[in-house]
Structure 1
């Protein structure tokens, strides 16, 4: 008979072991600005949602902590001499979270689904060079098997292009290179992204999702051991504004938080945990070029851009220490000369005089003021910036701009349905490449286009850049494309992004210039009990 004393000792030891295991679990608590719109990579539109996608799904090409390309689901790849065929060699040890092997057909299925019109993907522009991708997406070709993607065998994927695209590996490190588990999608229908249904091949799997509260990921035990994740559990915490995020960080509830503009000076004065960096990102206003007062009226668009005193905005309103933006691509890419407006060095009186003349040419003046509405997602710092800009337009030009805020999802829906005249957004890319930020202006950008901008000459320059034989020639062509787009005024850049974040000292090797780091690349010490 087992003695009670022995049994009690075993229970005690087991309890201590379980407690030690629980204490050793490494948990990362990271903020998201809004409830995730979707966990379907093909419908992702926000940087926060993309970060979650990268935790769940490993694309063909990976990125290390410094955003350099490294092997992902593919152990290696090569391109043909003519640049028209990419061959990816998958890891034989790749597994889905349910234990199924990751095979080339999973990528074929994902890419065919991505370009299928019925999917309603946010944007296929970055893979429009794949044979028949544009024709299938536009509905001109019904045979989806005609897409230039083939499974040579279980571990070999071949992608055929209609034209050279040197950035294809870059885009294969994003949602465009992610596989999907066909059986789970077809068996679960629209519910395939819910906890219990979602099967992923990345370093984490979905454990739970409480709407408007948090989304929890846990380490995927089936994930291969190359660059293993150090974090065991990731909690994505929904924070409705920056002030709330800061309070939760200071209360020890989150591991980093963006500093609200009004608190940047406070943080710089006495916070040892403040981390500052430069991102490839821009805050901007944009026009509806499909309909409304600004469609086919570039002079109106130029006049409004001229009258924005960007130095005043960044120095007295935004307060984040950001540089003013007179171009689209932030000057943070080695070897790339960012374009800018030809009037950037004009003093404000000269710019206002030019703006008034342009408005007069369009028939607007004191007796007939230009009136329009600016939609924006509900956010206090955005409201303050737009109030300042609207005041500048009113004072300098007599323009009457009405501001209308909307909850994020409602705002996104309005923009997607072209139910706006002017809007406010930001764009950021972890990939330090100008083509990524220029891509939304390509005619084929689809839902990824905020403006409806169409210029065949711009498209031709970007396309030529993709086919250039070296980086120098490519960057020169993209510089011309950026300058051409700026001269058409589909957008009004206001400021280039600076990252101001408070980061727990438990995180080691934090990268200041990375906006949304992958959880697998974060090294964090366990929290003290």
Structure 2
């Protein structure tokens, strides 16, 4: 017992030393706060973003930076409803297909140049351009001919977004889209400057001098694997209402390190505290659990590339009976109660239970499998696939990005599959940038993933799995599923649209190219002096209205 305590004390000292080294340039006391007369905060985003280019980003950590550096046609208020952003007003045609946005004349870029409608037209067409290779290109597909342009069936001039003058943007949609105004607040729809991007297309977003933005904060320093430092943008049209002077976005991935930094006052805000600490943090008010519209899941590589990664694994994972056996063998209730411990809900579908439908109500999810393991059904399916009690089954690998929480989940699933199915699984962890690259290349067998809603509608969860979609990490392809998604997007009748989305989810959950594990909660630790931060259920932190009390 004495040896155990001694080891824990040594581990704590090492953790504190690591945390201290991360902020070594700050001195013995944090520079957060108002002592210097400046309102400075340090916020951990959990990883160094692969990119903070609005047209290329596909990660939550990148979006947390982008949504504070850029502003779209609309903003989201504290209730996540669209409000005027760069567009001060707009009109919508009776058929819901044409939006005319009127930009405010005082909107400026961080270098003082005016923000124009042409900046939005350029940014949207750039995201849809096949040469850009944006993983979020499909998000622009709501705009007429954007998908055809991305698939080289139309020209840029045929895409339904036109700047008729500097202050007027006319957008024509493929079909009525009830949540389109919310979409225009999403990072992919943010404006970017053509002269800036095309002068240095690969690196413009990596340097403070070229990261020209139009939001409340502007980049001052980018220190890879350390921090992205922003200051109040004096050219922002509503700068007089921005109260913070500086935000330092820290990129610590190790939970023990960033939690120690928070406890010592070197961080003002973080999410995902260590699982073992979370119950007490929530109980004493140090942490708050915010609504979070997202699903944590494992991808199963069913793409043609799976053969190149591991032929044996590809063979077994192509069998839907195997994929379902793996799903039924997981006890999700035990996972959230004994492993994650942050108020998560077992996921028995892919679309989260909190998702709204087109009629303003809940989507009314189905339970495609029980929250607890159905070991008998799992064993039956595996035996039918030719592997009774796991005999002859090849060793699989789970890929996950560095973070203790992901490791804990992977180890728990590894144990469940061994105990319930008799199969062996090895684990491989990599840093976040490598993880994203491996997902994009489909260079894995089984891989951790998570999807946070881009807007509150089931479509944001299911349309990513259409054939050829860059976000379709399992490499899933089903023509009937594609047809249902296309029909739902074109359906103006809300009730019929919901029915089509349910059919689409039925189809993909029957094919099971992924294994949903749980519905997220957003557990956030925050300096009690930090006020009016908007913690969005879409996974973003908005500091536009935030303040730091003296």
Q: For 1:460-481, what per-residue CA distance to the aligned partner results, in whole angstroms no more than 9, with x for missing partners?
A: 3333433444655544433333
Structure 1 Cα separation of the partners of residues 245 and 496 of structure 2 = 44
Q: Is the 8 A contact 2:80 2:536 kept in 1?
A: no
TM-score, structure 1 length as denominator? 0.89
Q: Is the 8 A contact 2:219 2:231 kept in 1?
A: yes
Q: Is the 8 A contact 1:239 1:245 kept in 2?
A: yes
Query: Which residue, 317, 321, 325 being the options, matches 2:339?
Result: 317
2:446 matched residue in structure 1: 422
Q: Is the 8 A contact 1:230 1:522 kept in 2?
A: yes
Which 4+ residue blocks in structure 1 deviate beyond 6 angstroms? none
Q: Is the 8 A contact 1:328 1:340 kept in 2?
A: no
Q: Is the 8 A contact 2:320 2:511 kept in 1?
A: yes
Q: For 1:249-298, what per-residue CA distance to the aligned partner results, in whole angstroms no more than 9, with x for missing partners?
A: 111111122321011133244x3332122311121111112132355422
The alignment's C-alpha RMSD in Å is 2.3
Change (3 A) 1:228 1:465: farther
Query: Which residue, 368, 376, 385 being the options, matches 1:362?
Result: 385
Tell whether 2:287 aligns with 1:265. no
TM-score, structure 2 length as denominator? 0.85
1:456 matched residue in structure 2: 479
Q: Is the 8 A contact 1:61 1:177 kept in 2?
A: no
Structure 2 Cα separation of the partners of residues 341 and 421 of structure 1 = 26
Aligned ranges 1:1-400 → 2 under 5 Å: 23-141=36-154, 143-193=155-205, 194-225=207-238, 228-258=241-271, 259-269=273-283, 271-290=284-303, 291=306, 292-293=314-315, 296-334=318-356, 335-344=361-370, 348=373, 351-366=374-389, 367-400=391-424
Structure 2 Cα separation of the partners of residues 146 and 474 of structure 1 = 27
Change (3 A) 1:523 1:457: farther
Q: Is the 8 A contact 2:351 2:461 kept in 1?
A: yes
Report which stretch shifted further, 25-34 or 512-521. Answer: 512-521
Q: Is the 8 A contact 1:336 1:475 kept in 2?
A: no
Question: Residue 370 of structure 1: CA displacement?
Answer: 4.3
Aligned-partner SS, 2:347:
coil
Aligned-partner SS, 1:125:
helix
Structure 2 Cα separation of the partners of residues 251 and 278 of structure 1 = 27
Report which stretch shifted further, 471-480 or 56-65. Answer: 471-480
Aligned-partner SS, 2:185:
coil
Report which stretch shifted further, 299-308 or 484-493. Answer: 484-493
Aligned-partner SS, 2:291:
strand
Change (3 A) 1:343 1:99: closer
Question: Residue 25 of structure 1: CA displacement?
Answer: 2.0
Aligned-partner SS, 1:217:
strand
Question: Residue 150 of structure 1: CA displacement?
Answer: 1.0
Structure 1 Cα separation of the partners of residues 197 and 210 of structure 2 = 8
Question: Residue 178 of structure 1: CA displacement?
Answer: 0.9
Unaligned runs of 5+ in 2: 1-32, 307-313
Change (3 A) 1:105 1:513: closer
Query: Which residue, 449, 462, 465 being the options, matches 1:441?
Result: 465
Structure 2 Cα separation of the partners of residues 221 and 451 of structure 1 = 44
Unaligned runs of 5+ in 1: 1-19
Aligned-partner SS, 2:299:
strand
Query: Which residue, 492, 503, 509 being the options, matches 1:486?
Result: 509
Structure 2 Cα separation of the partners of residues 78 and 458 of structure 1 = 34
1:16 matched residue in structure 2: none
Structure 2 Cα separation of the partners of residues 256 and 419 of structure 1 = 34
Number of equivalences: 501
